[in-house]
Amino acid sequence: MPSRASRPAVAAVLVTAAAFGFAGGAVVAQQVGALVDPEVAATGEPTPTEEATPEAGISLTADPASATTNQDVRLEGSLAPAVGGVPLQVERSLDGSDWQEFPVTTTSREDGTFGVTVRTSRSGENRFRVVGTVDGAPMASNEVPVSIG
């Protein structure tokens, strides 16, 4: 559980840092932390925090973000949690229009990653996304803009 140092303790750390440099301030800050956090006082080490779990969904990137007509654009992404064998449909919105299926599909690898190359002759603001169903739940990736011209 995070704890907050009192104002006098923070002031002491700042004064020490000014007087002895940041290294001295860090030593004092560690000692103040031991006084404030019982876990630090008991072990000398802060309680490790759990690693953040990636948010469930589909992430997508496009490279390049600007291309000429009929130039290859690489779409890559990943599923979280990582699931392999998920069919994914590429969709496109041209200049703010409704989403339409783009004639390209891909399938996620065992580590949840996927990649596909698209190309279009339609100039303008092309926004791409991928959609699929993971464990019975329909999902859509973030939208990635690609300027074609």
Report all structural domains of the chain as residue ranges with CATH numbers, in order of start. 7-43 (no CATH), 57-148 (2.60.40.10)
Q: What pLDDT, on a 0 to 100 scale, did the predictor assign at position 52?
A: 52
Q: What pLDDT, on a 0 to 100 scale, did the predictor assign at position 48?
A: 52
Q: Using a cut of 0.85, tell me whether the model's pTM lies above it.
A: no
Q: What pLDDT, on a 0 to 100 scale, did the predictor assign at position 55?
A: 76
Q: What pLDDT, on a 0 to 100 scale, did the predictor assign at position 111?
A: 97
Q: What pLDDT, on a 0 to 100 scale, did the predictor assign at position 134?
A: 87
Residue pair 29/13 in contact (Cβ under 8 Å)? The answer is yes
Q: What is the mean pLDDT of each run of 10 residues along the chain (149 residues)?
A: 48 44 44 45 53 76 97 97 96 96 97 97 97 93 97
* Residue the block writes with tokens 């000429």: 68
Q: What pLDDT, on a 0 to 100 scale, did the predictor assign at position 127?
A: 98
Q: What pLDDT, on a 0 to 100 scale, did the predictor assign at position 16?
A: 43
How many of the other CB atoms lie within 10 Å of CB of 90? 19
